[in-house]
Amino acid sequence: MKLKPEILNGKRVILASKSPRRKELLSLICDSFEVMPADIDESVPQNVAAEEAAEYISIQKAFAIDSEDVIIACDTVVIVDGKILGKPSDRQNGFEMLSELSGKTHSVISGVCIRYKGESVSFSQKSLVTFYELTDEEINDYLDSGEPFDKAGGYGIQGLGSLLVKEFSGDFFNIVGLPVARLRRSLSELLSKAEEN
């Protein structure tokens, strides 16, 4: 199911992200790639809707890498009650985020942009996650683990954060941070298109 060598045909693939989770997930698609995090301002203009923010940032990341190689960039946002939750700035912020998610359903949207030579494609993938009602003790125990602090929304569904989740719908890996099934198809289509031109 990985991309066949003839599709990549020796092309250099660059993941424009420092996330260890995305690095692990991209290895499901291709065996060989380089990690080159994009150094950009990740603030989103006011005229960009919350549900379009992740795709907007992924496009900025992809075009910040000065290369003709295959560039894959991604960003993930958590949205609750129309508000984007980023990564917790400190413990108090993490507590506030998890309290806000408690007992509610929120959206997790990953935006992806792929660039190769003069071609590019971008998309957003949405999943829904519902949390159990959380006690202050549960939130503090989770914060004590240290897991929430480098993750959008202050939790990781692939780790201890899974214990907070009542149910989810949509692509699980999208919630983790990289919608690998759709990415694989989009990447294959873009490379084929680029070779025809």
For 42-82, the pLDDT digits (tens) are 889 999 999 999 999 999 999 999 998 999 999 999 999 99
Q: How far is CA 7 from CA 1, 30, 34, 117, 153, in A?
A: 12, 11, 17, 15, 36
CB 125 within 8 A of CB 175: no
Cβ atoms < 10 Å from Cβ of 49: 11
Catalytic residues: 75
The pLDDT of residue 177 is 94
What distance in Å separates the CA atoms of residue 181 and residue 70, rounded to the nearest whole number?
18
Where residue 25 sits, what CATH number does that domain have?
3.90.950.10
Cβ atoms < 10 Å from Cβ of 181: 14
Domain span including residue 27: 5-196
Q: How far separated are the first and last CA of the chain, in Å rounded?
A: 26
Q: Tokens standing for 183?
A: 């990415």
Nearest to 50 by CA among 81, 73, 74: 81
What distance in Å separates the CA atoms of residue 76 and residue 1, rounded to the nearest whole number?
24
The identity of residue 54, as a single letter, is: A
What's the domain count of the chain? 1
Q: Under 8 Å CB-to-CB from 54, ≥6 apart: which residues? A: 74, 75, 76, 77, 109, 110, 111, 124
Q: What is the pLDDT of residues 127-140, one digit of tens each?
A: 999 999 999 999 99
Cβ atoms < 10 Å from Cβ of 145: 12
The pLDDT of residue 197 is 67
